[in-house]
Structure 1
Amino acid sequence: MMTKAVLSSPSSRAEAEHTSIDERIAHKDERVHVLTGAVCNNNCVFCMEEDRDARYVTNSQTDDALVRFILEQKKGAEEICFTSGEPTTNPRLPHWVRWAKEAGIRRVSVMTNGRSLSYEKYARMLISAGMNRFYVSIHGHTQKLHDGLTRTPESFDQTVAGLDVITKYKRYGVELHTSTVITKRNLPHMGEIYRFLRAHGVDQVVFNVMQANGRANTYFEHIFPTYTEIAETARVFLEEQTKTEPRVMAFLVDIPLCTTTKLPDFNRGYVESYVHYEPAANAEKLVPAEALLGRREALADQSETRELVAIRRADLDDSERQKRAECAQCKHEKSCEGVWGNYLKRYGWDEFVPVA
């Protein structure tokens, strides 16, 4: 089960001023993902969770016992993120948020399309339970652009209303980040999207380059721009935006660093490393069994003993991303995760030049 990624950027301006992108990646913390949403009320054209039946089976197994198990295993974690599918469709979410807060987790977050947050009573319930960071997925600055990518009428209006509700509670220490998946359709509007979201109170705007799997692979030719095109559009946008905003709170994420050398390090983000738990039978379908040795944990509940396996993001990505011999010459080699194999099938290696 591929989970949605927690997107990361400099946690403070001081951090960005004194560390390079390679240093930030080298010292990034591991987040803990809880697979919460068995279903999703959007139908995004680029969704990496294309096998929705499998997602339903996996995520439906997240119950009170499993959440308590995760919180016990990951005491002291910096962040617990409820993710996969649409977490707000799970009626137990507010209870699990409260448990995470009671367990002393410093940051309790959710990766959401934000539609449920438009109901202020519900959003307030999550915040009072302990939710203090929201990652809201929004893919355009107009209804036509966003709804066309989510393939869900009226999703834009609800998501924007959700942003506005969370913005009201930022004075209580709540953080609001957004994730915009870059496609051929919305890439020309990067600046407009950024300014629209900042006007609605967003603290950090993350432009997330697609992972070339799931539906992004199915519809690749229609929606996936080249990394070079993305990086150049971002460069032009950032140069223009800095004329009126000295520190632009936009971050380009999950793109090979060799293609973004013309961008300030501050604006080059990365996908955070994470760990989540899956039933052992599911895990071995995703990751070679030998990679899972020593990671099995037994979850005992009243009905049975479930065998679980901790899966890290690197387990899932290593089999999908590639490097070539020339990559060893690049200054970013240790930080770089490689290039999606499905991307290379279409565009090849020409645009990837090692950085001296």
Structure 2
Amino acid sequence: MSPGGSTHSVVQVMTNETCNHNCAFCHARRPAERPDVAAAGAVLARIDAAARGGARTLVLTGGEPALRRDLPALVTRARRALDASARPGDFLPDDPRAQPAQVLLETNGALITPARADALRRAGLDVARVHLPRWGDALDTITRDDGGFARTLAGLHALAAAGVALEVSIPLVLRTLATAPEIPTALHAAGLPVRALVLTVPVTAPDPADLATLPDVARAAEAVDAAARRAGIPARFDVGALIPPCLFQHPNRAAHLYTFTPGGAARPDFDHPDACTTCQARSICPGVPREALRRDPQLALRPIRDERTRRRLTVVSSIDDQIRRELCTRDVRRLADGTTVREHIVRINFHCNQVCRFCFVSTHLPMAPEPLIEDAITEIARAGGVLTLSGGEPTLNPRVVDYVTLGKQLGAREIELQTNATRLADPALTRALADAGLDVAFVSLHAAQAAVSDRITGAPGTFDKTVRGLDELAKTSVLVRINFVFCEQNQEEFPALVALTADRWPRAEITVSFVAASTDLVPLTPDILPRYGDVLPYLAEGVHLARERGVTLTGFESMCGIPLCLVPADLARYFALAQASTEVAPGEFLKPDDTCGTCALTAQCFGIRRGYAKLYGTTELRPIRALAAEGGPAADA
């Protein structure tokens, strides 16, 4: 199985070790089968174990699996095992384990006839990844199989005709670097419907002289990717055989070649040299293949410094799939009277004019197609729910006013705009939104000082624009909620923000939020995520000041707040809340039995985020006893 075993969503299952090809750089091929590897019972046991362990893609590999006469039976077993263990609802939407299951076959294609391809498809094969180091008769000189290219090409066409999705695997070794860029054009000319080129980087071989240096691999990968773009074929690295993105001259331009997944930084066959310490991608990148470092211990790495590139490296599936998955969050909003209302958070675009490191939105994604956006708006509006237009920064979408109008015309109960308000400094845009029916502006402002705010947002000058945008909103009837996200850089700013709000925008409310360490987009590090105990003194001071100045504070009831037992305010009103839904963010929160299990507010509270507990533990939680006779709750010491 693949390194990492059951924690990986993509798991390789070895079916055999012999092969009809004899590539010099292949270290997997053996002259004879070992029973403990190739025996049918052993293979079936590995398939079942991988599926039980959480695999969503089972990769049947070898050797050459097509040498097995029982290959269709193995595919059937893999399909049934995946279907029996399917639990996509147990995981967060951006977790690869939440994706549909698929069976993938790694093969050289030379033994795949039309009849065999049909049998494999009927057995449940979804994808065939065909090994293709060269194009044309030159392939035979690498595989040492006379006539092999013609048979591989026929196998590719047979698989496509049977309805099996095609991927082509290109190993980047010394003998293929110069010619690999020819393959995308040739595949396109052959009329083959290849859905992806998968680049692999062997780092061990019977003769190490066959291996290329990693910088040379990076240059070849750039050339292959350029050719693939021209041919209209997406390219990416194999997650198990890649090079670090910092080896590219421009890592941001190569980010789409990577699929870094949750937990992907921990790989037993990779190491993080000292240069990785200061890299922005350290928490998601596995580093450098250990064998490559052994051959070249002085390998020059260029740590990634910019936040945007790190975010671009976190695509966990295809771009289109990720857009569809993240376009609309179907939420349930809890109201003060104990009732709930449906809410759609629709990301009308993903890009943003600020770069907050704690933002969990995939701001590197392109805008979703307009029909998909309109469908999400229509669904919630006709249901009479709350429509929240979000991003990225939604005011960067030229149709933002149209979307407010659409939601209002179709019957949305309330329309909220989540924004940093920098573009709302334009009076015309603000007035147009208000006239279209905007009810609430949820404005991000994380400090009362320009220097602190601009440092957090990574966008100098935008504090002043946000303030001017709030000034314009204050001239309308739109309800303003200022969202303050507590992070390590701004704890001391909260009381000052309360004072600024009371002085400048007295009708505005403040929503208290806390860094949500919920995805790989948010680095799980103390320089971003503060301890609750460090935040609470400033939060308590701000709560006291808000009470004095008449500023309404909200957000404690939200999943973006803090555990209710830590809220430094009267908790009586939270007992009336509806139960916190476990379906909105399944698996994201913890409720330890020794604290939450005895808390009177456990049903109304989301609990503590797993990411926070992983970094700091759960000892700060203080369970709440039932309401005392005088009406106020009491916390355990």
User: Shorter chain as normaliser: what TM range?
Assistant: 0.7 to 0.9
Partner of 2:606: 337
The aligned runs of 1:319-334 (5 Å cut-off) are 319-326=587-594, 327-334=596-603
Q: CA, structure 1 residues 152+219, in 2 after alignment: closer, same or farther (shift >3 Å)?
A: farther
Partner of 2:554: 251
Partner of 1:142: 449
Partner of 1:294: none
Deviations 1:52-84 (A, max 9, x none): 33x43xx423x1464146424542424211012
Structure 1's unaligned 5+ residue stretches are 16-23, 275-312
Partner of 1:198: 502
> Pick from 391, 416, 420: which aligns with 1:109?
416
> Pick from 81, 84, 96: which aligns with 2:388?
81
**Hey, what's the Cα distance between the residues in 2 that align with 1:95 and 1:177?**
22
Kept in 2: contact 1:34–1:80 (CA 8 A): yes
**Hey, what's the Cα distance between the residues in 2 that align with 1:4 and 1:137?**
19
SS in 2 for 1:223: coil
> Pick from 346, 350, 357: which aligns with 1:34?
346
Deviations 1:141-195 (A, max 9, x none): 111011000000111011111000111113xxx2111101111222112111111
1:349 corresponds to which letter in structure 2?
T
Deviations 1:210-247 (A, max 9, x none): 111347741531122222332332223323454x43x4
2:569 corresponds to which letter in structure 1?
L
SS in 2 for 1:29: strand
1:353 Cα shift?
Answer: 2.5
The alignment yields a C-alpha RMSD, in angstroms, of 3.1
**Hey, what's the Cα distance between the residues in 2 that align with 1:178 and 1:37?**
21
Partner of 1:52: 363
**Hey, what's the Cα distance between the residues in 1 that align with 2:472 and 2:397?**
20
Kept in 1: contact 2:334–2:340 (CA 8 A): no
1:33 Cα shift?
Answer: 1.7
Partner of 1:317: 585
> Pick from 470, 484, 487: which aligns with 1:180?
484
Partner of 2:151: none
1:4 Cα shift?
Answer: 8.4
2:350 corresponds to which letter in structure 1?
A
2:604 corresponds to which letter in structure 1?
S
Q: CA, structure 1 residues 214+332, in 2 after alignment: closer, same or farther (shift >3 Å)?
A: same
SS in 2 for 1:350: coil
**Hey, what's the Cα distance between the residues in 2 that align with 1:223 and 1:7?**
28
SS in 2 for 1:225: coil
2:552 corresponds to which letter in structure 1?
M
Q: CA, structure 1 residues 263+333, in 2 after alignment: closer, same or farther (shift >3 Å)?
A: same
Using CA pairs under 8 Å that are at least 6 residues apart, name the structure with larger relative contact order, 1 or 2: 1
Deviations 1:280-299 (A, max 9, x none): xxxxxxxxxxxxxxxxxxxx
Partner of 1:153: 460
**Bigger-Rg structure (1/2):** 2
1:138 Cα shift?
Answer: 0.8
Partner of 1:350: 619
Q: CA, structure 1 residues 195+117, in 2 after alignment: closer, same or farther (shift >3 Å)?
A: same
Kept in 2: contact 1:143–1:157 (CA 8 A): yes
**Hey, what's the Cα distance between the residues in 2 that align with 1:151 and 1:80?**
29
**Hey, what's the Cα distance between the residues in 2 that align with 1:272 and 1:142?**
37
**Hey, what's the Cα distance between the residues in 2 that align with 1:208 and 1:138?**
11
SS in 2 for 1:221: coil
**Hey, what's the Cα distance between the residues in 1 that align with 2:564 and 2:493?**
22
Tell me whether 1:164 sits opposite 2:471 in the alignment.
yes
Deviations 1:104-126 (A, max 9, x none): 22321210010110111111111
Tell me whether 1:263 sits opposite 2:569 in the alignment.
yes
SS in 2 for 1:220: coil
1:273 Cα shift?
Answer: 11
% identity of equivalent residues? 22
Partner of 1:224: 529
**Hey, what's the Cα distance between the residues in 2 that align with 1:9 and 1:29?**
7
Kept in 1: contact 2:510–2:554 (CA 8 A): yes
2:450 corresponds to which letter in structure 1?
Q
1:267 Cα shift?
Answer: 9.1
Structure 2's unaligned 5+ residue stretches are 1-324, 626-637
Kept in 1: contact 2:380–2:412 (CA 8 A): no
SS in 1 for 2:402: helix
SS in 1 for 2:484: strand
2:611 corresponds to which letter in structure 1?
N
**Hey, what's the Cα distance between the residues in 2 that align with 1:340 and 1:107?**
29
1:27 Cα shift?
Answer: 2.3
**Hey, what's the Cα distance between the residues in 2 that align with 1:133 and 1:211?**
22
Partner of 2:431: 124
**Hey, what's the Cα distance between the residues in 2 that align with 1:7 and 1:46?**
23
**Hey, what's the Cα distance between the residues in 2 that align with 1:255 and 1:196?**
23
Give the TM-score normalised by structure 2. 0.42
SS in 2 for 1:189: helix
SS in 2 for 1:48: coil
Q: CA, structure 1 residues 142+267, in 2 after alignment: closer, same or farther (shift >3 Å)?
A: farther
**Hey, what's the Cα distance between the residues in 2 that align with 1:266 and 1:194?**
23
Moved more, 79-88 or 313-322: 313-322
Kept in 2: contact 1:9–1:251 (CA 8 A): no
Kept in 2: contact 1:33–1:80 (CA 8 A): yes
Give the TM-score normalised by structure 1. 0.73
How many residue pairs match? The answer is 293
